């Protein structure tokens, strides 16, 4: 548990330097219920909204907790200053819930946000997403796999699309079957063995195992419809090899998708004052979510 909280608490290294009255925070908005568990998100609305939303996937090691949101305020500052509305989403955590179930939570959260776009004063057709590590993985999952819900769903929220229109994230796993090098399977083993519960029951049959690995790996779902994606990654990261970002960005470019990798020389899985890199994300979202031309 300490390892999960450490990953989740990286953003808490900074202290917010802007006044609380610069934005309105609505805590514990319920976006779903499952198996007796209430799933919530916090909404941060800037004093002067630009009408665009950024979903922050609050996740480290596929563990999520409301307590991590407070420590993320410094990360949110550049977004709020530039008028973005932030939705900080807490998903069901491992070991109780597995990655496929967590993906369902994230899809539901975007559908909820889109369904309530008018209430929060945002454009439902232009939603961005961000996160780090597991949160980066889930951000790219939404980017590559998000889409329309069942047209016959009883709950109108579930009929909404979970697609996002822009991604900017930190050091995300993208291919669990070729992790760091070709053929390196880390589905609950190897460097990711400490996170084994997140992968749930992994099929023993090799073909089924590979099928499962592809289902939860964003790399295999890249298409020409994948939204513009920016990744920041340290070249000394031993938990999530930078190769994971490289292969994703290269394939996205081959598919005709605007994609970019910014390398942090000498950095590992996180770095000092990494929350200040949110400024780079703002520029990316301004360009590809809002359509503002940048130099």
What mean pLDDT comes out for the span 236-260? 98
d(CA 129, CA 231): 12
* 40 sits in which H/E element: strand 37-46
Q: Report yes or no on 44 lying in a domain.
A: yes
Q: Which two tokens stand for residue 286?
A: 């301004």
Q: Report yes or no on 260 lying in a domain.
A: yes
What mean pLDDT comes out for the span 118-144? 98
DSSP 71: T
CATH of the domain at 211: 3.40.50.1820
What mean pLDDT comes out for the span 208-213? 98
In the structure, what pLDDT confidence band is assigned to residue 35 with cuts at 50, 70 and 90? confident
- For the entire predicted model, the pTM comes to 0.93
pLDDT of residue 3 exceeding 50: no
Helix (H, G, I), strand (E, B) or coil at 17: coil
Helix (H, G, I), strand (E, B) or coil at 293: coil
pLDDT of residue 13 exceeding 50: no
Helix (H, G, I), strand (E, B) or coil at 204: coil
User: Of all residues in the chain, what percent carry a pLDDT higher than 90?
Assistant: 86
pLDDT score for 273:
81
> Number of folded domains in the chain?
1
More confident residue, 57 or 37: 57
Q: Which two tokens stand for residue 141?
A: 């999952």
Which residue, 150, 210, 208, is CA-closest to 177?
210
pLDDT of residue 16 exceeding 90: no
Full domain range(s) for residue 91: 2-13+22-288
Q: Report yes or no on 294 lying in a domain.
A: no
Q: Which two tokens stand for residue 270?
A: 């996180």
Q: Report yes or no on 170 lying in a domain.
A: yes
Q: Report yes or no on 295 lying in a domain.
A: no
């Amino acid at each position: 548990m300490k390892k999960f909280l450490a990953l989740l608490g990286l953003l808490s290294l900074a202290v917010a330097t802007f006044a609380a009255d610069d934005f309105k925070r609505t805590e514990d908005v319920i976006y779903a219920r499952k198996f007796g568990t209430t799933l919530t998100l916090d909404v941060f609305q800037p004093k002067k909204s630009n009408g665009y939303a950024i979903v922050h996937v609050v996740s480290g090691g596929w563990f999520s907790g409301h307590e991590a949101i407070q420590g993320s305020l410094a990360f949110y500052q550049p977004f709020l200053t530039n008028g973005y509305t932030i939705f900080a989403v807490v998903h069901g955590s491992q070991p109780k819930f597995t990655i496929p179930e967590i993906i369902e939570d994230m899809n539901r959260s975007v559908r909820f946000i889109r369904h309530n776009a008018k209430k929060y004063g945002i454009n439902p057709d232009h939603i961005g997403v961000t996160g780090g590590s597991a949160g980066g993985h889930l951000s790219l999952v939404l980017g590559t796999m998000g889409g329309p819900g069942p047209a016959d769903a009883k709950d109108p929220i579930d009929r909404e699309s979970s697609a996002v229109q822009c991604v900017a994230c930190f050091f995300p796993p993208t291919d669990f079957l070729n992790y760091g090098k070709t053929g390196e399977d880390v589905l609950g083993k190897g460097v990711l063995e400490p996170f084994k519960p997140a992968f749930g029951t992994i099929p023993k049959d090799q073909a089924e195992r590979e099928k499962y690995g592809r289902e939860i790996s964003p790399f295999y779902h890249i298409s020409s419809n994948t939204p513009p994606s920016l990744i920041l990654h340290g070249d000394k990261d031993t938990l999530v090899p930078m190769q994971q970002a490289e292969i994703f960005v290269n394939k996205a470019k081959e598919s005709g998708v605007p994609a970019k990798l910014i390398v942090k020389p000498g950095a590992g899985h996180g770095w000092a004052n990494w929350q200040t890199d949110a400024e780079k994300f703002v520029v990316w979202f301004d360009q590809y979510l809002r359509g503002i031309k940048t130099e």
